[in-house]
Amino acid sequence: MRAQVTIQAPVVLSPVDQGRVFTGRPTFTVQNAARSGDAGVLTYEFQVSTTASFSPITAGGTVAEGSTATSWTPTADLPLGHFYWRARAVDVANQVTGAYSASPVFERRPSTGDFFDLSTATIVLGSTDIASWPVTSQVTSASANWSEVCVHHPALATWPSTVFFDDPASLVQGNQWMFAFINGRWYGGSGRWFRPGQPCKGISADPFSGTFYQDQTEPLRSYVPRVGEIIGLMATTPNRFWPAMSTLNQRTNVVLVPFGG
């Protein structure tokens, strides 16, 4: 006799409640739903609406379950404005539908600007007035996991390079920045150096503790991200030991991404 299947509501990861997105086709991500019994293969239904009652539906779609989290991206641009979103898991084979997730509201803004107010963040490494640096490049995609951090943006082709300390054989173009929301506040710092045109940096340890290893960089030194947890990423011209090796003093916008496995 097969055990009865029950499916819990998935947990929303991104966009966060009261968050802002700057792309017409944001990626919606939930932590996979817990289930019990002899559950079959799950799919996830995503819905986006301008109303909390989800009537009418502005955009929606169904995708197969991911390994630990599941994401969906609309096939058409969302208009500017405020939206609610939610998701639920479905076991088609057993005809069981789980409960909807929470319904966070987010704002779709024009495709410039930061995902949070950078001037409110505590900077533990790098120039503390980074919020005043002009945004001259918009992040097109970004990701972070246990093996690498990637920040793609057009200025990788235009920002100048400079000599890394006193080694003319080593050129750098800037730094990847990382941010974590800890105890109700954003903390961030200038992270790994990247070479000219290099969007991704491989890492051999936790990207936070392996990057912010000095005593004065707490709480990022002790921070360990969970898979699916939302972190912030951006890129700047050289900044980690600013003003050493400084060039243009420019940056990208800050984006929020779920930390991967």
pLDDT tens digits, 27-67: 999 999 999 988 889 999 999 999 999 999 999 999 999 99
Same domain for 191 and 65: no
| pLDDT tens-digit map of 210-227 | 899 999 999 999 999 988
Q: Could you give the CA distance from residue 80 to residue 66 in angstroms, rounded to a whole number?
A: 29
Tell which of 108, 141, 161 closes a domain.
Answer: 108
Same domain for 76 and 146: no
Domain that holds residue 42: 6-108
CB neighbourhood size of 251 (10 A): 27
Q: Could you give the CA distance from residue 123 to residue 147 in angstroms, rounded to a whole number?
A: 24
On the question of pLDDT at 113 being above 80, the answer is: no
The model carries a pTM of 0.61
Give the domain CATH number at 12: 2.60.40.10
Same domain for 98 and 126: no
> pLDDT band for position 110 (50/70/90)?
low
Q: Could you give the CA distance from residue 188 to residue 233 in angstroms, rounded to a whole number?
A: 9
Same domain for 132 and 248: yes
